[in-house]
Structure 1
Amino acid sequence: MHLLTASVLLITTGLSNGDKTTILRLPSPQTTKSYVKLQAATPAMTALTACLRAKTAFTGSGNSHFLSYAAGGMDNAFLFAYNRNGAIYSYVFNSNKDTSVFKVDDGAWHHWCFSWNNRGGKWTVYKDGMPAAAGTGFQTDKTIPANGVWIVGQDQDRLGGGFDATQAYVGDITSINVWNTDNVNFAAVANCGDNFGGNVISWYDVSKEIHEVSTYRKDLCKLK
């Protein structure tokens, strides 16, 4: 395992090294110093799908954040996280959506997706390629602003910063992909081969600015 203790720009392009991918390990105890900035050009979005693989057994006193996007003076333009009860929740355009999808913190690898479309406010949480919760009427007609900042492992209270240690993610995370649509083949994306990169963020191509986070590489089909 390689520990990156300073800010480093890590660029990955395509599958390589025996189809192994980069996995991030965010440390315990929680800290504001450990995070990854994803360098992605982001359009204004009337629909969104965010997917990732995560393994954690951590439940803290606050919420734990997989991924945050801040833009246009809006710190919670998009959030993907779980609460102290181990249940998935998300923010879109500064509004919270709690879900009944529990046991994020069961210590096992899972593939998670959150999708949303402003037409009718349709939203869905997918666990391991299958729908686990869904609804409508969430942030209908809203548009997520363009040209923001993506951060792995922290909640942004201001653009690119304002982190709170009690809200930091602790555990392993990889395969972060984001699309500006909810028309995604979720079963295929969840497959261990992980051959479908997002058109906003593609994990294998996106540049990663890594701060005090360790990394390792592994074949996704062999994750345990």
Structure 2
Amino acid sequence: MDIFVSSKRSVTDLKRDHALFSVSTPSHDNSFLVFWNNGVQEMQTYVKTAVVGYGGWDYKSNKWHSICTTWDSVTGLGQMWFDGVPSIRKFIRSGESITGQAIVILGQEQDKHGGGFDINQSFVGMMSDVHMWDYILSPCEIQNYMENLHFTPGNVLNWNALDFDISGHVLIENKTVVCQLQNIRVGA
């Protein structure tokens, strides 16, 4: 399966490692994982036993970030888009798809299929608009998605149509929009 995953928008004040998105299958705990490695200051993509890092991002605390990750199972190329800016494409792993019963977890890395969580790798913050496709989107489709323009919702995961279980201290609430104030000049 080709994958395009987005942890579309997330915000945290963590200053440690944490997982954003995890897909586990019976044969691979980290069939697909998006993970912030604080020690080396890079966002990492894991595909089965392979990992690549994307450094140089300004992953600030208490700021909303858009993080999108692609992986093509045929070519093995992956790419990350951070706040609308694409990284270089990197070889991760090719020649095999992700198969088997997939369990998707947001905010935790799975050390075993559907479990084995490490509290020291948990995401604490807010997350919104997660979509997943089984094909690679074009750069224009990714930009439209990241800028909240018209896009085709994920055909594997669609944030607006998810069936999910809540575990732990999770609060589901409606999305809020922060309005920007216009500059107002007072006086002459």
Would the TM-score normalized by the shorter structure come out above 0.5?
Answer: yes
Report deviation, 1:121. Answer: 1.6
Q: Specify which of 149, 173, 177 is matched with residue 216 of structure 1.
A: 173
Report the alpha carbon displacement of residue 146 of structure 1 after superposing the two structures with TM.
Answer: 3.2
Of 201-210 and 188-197, the range deviating more from structure 2? 188-197
Q: 1:166 to 1:188 in 2, by over 3 A?
A: same
1:65 Cα deviation from its structure 2 partner? 0.3
1:175/1:194 contact within 8 Å kept: no
DSSP 3-state at the match of 1:216: coil
SS of the equivalent of 2:68 reads: strand
CA contact (8 A) 1:75 1:156 kept: yes
Match of 2:42 among 87, 93, 102: 87
1:111 matched to 2:66: yes
Cα 1:167–1:195 shift into 2, 3 Å = same
Contact 2:23 2:103 in 1 (8 A): yes
Instruction: Choose which of 8, 11, 16 in structure 2 pairs with 1:55.
Output: 11
Unpaired segments of 5 or more residues in structure 2? 181-188
Q: Which amino acid in the other structure matches residue 134 of structure 1?
A: I
The amino acid across from 2:174 in the alignment is R
* Cα shift at 1:194: 6.9
In structure 2, do the counterparts of structure 1 residues 103 and 93 end up closer, same or farther at CA, with 3 Å as the change threshold? same
Task: Give, in whole Å, the separation in 1 of the partners of 2:131 and 2:26.
Answer: 22
Query: Is the Cα–Cα contact under 8 Å of residues 82 and 104 in structure 1 kept in the other structure?
Result: no
The structural deviation recorded for 1:181 is: 1.2
Higher strand fraction (1 or 2): 1
Residue in 1 that maps onto 2:161:
205
Contact 2:5 2:68 (8 Å CA) reproduced: yes
| Match of residue 144 from structure 2 | 188
For residues 75 and 102 of structure 2, the distance between their equivalents in structure 1, rounded to whole angstroms, comes to 25
Q: Which has the larger radius of gyration?
A: 2
Distance 2:110 2:56 in 1: 23
Unaligned runs of 5+ in 1: 1-44
Higher relative contact order (CA 8 A, sep 6+): 1
Residues 56-205 of structure 1: pairs in structure 2 closer than 5 A:
56-60=12-16, 63-85=17-39, 86-131=41-86, 133-184=87-138, 185-192=141-148, 196-205=152-161
Q: Partner letter of residue 36 of structure 2?
A: Y
Once the two structures are TM-superposed, the CA of residue 90 in structure 1 deviates from its matched residue by 1.1
Q: Under a length normalisation based on structure 1, what TM-score does the superposition of the two structures give?
A: 0.72
User: Aligned equivalents of 1:67 and 1:141: distance in 2?
Assistant: 23
Distance 1:109 1:79 in 2: 20
What is the match of residue 185 of structure 2? none
The answer to whether the 8 Å contact 1:88/1:101 transfers is: no
How far apart in 2 are the matches of 1:194 and 1:162?
37
Give the total of aligned pairs: 175
Alpha-carbon distance in structure 2 between the residues aligned to 1:139 and 1:162: 24
2:101 & 2:171 partners in 1: Cα distance?
A: 27
For residues 71 and 109 of structure 1, what CA distance do their matches in structure 2 show?
30
The residue type paired with residue 148 of structure 2 is C
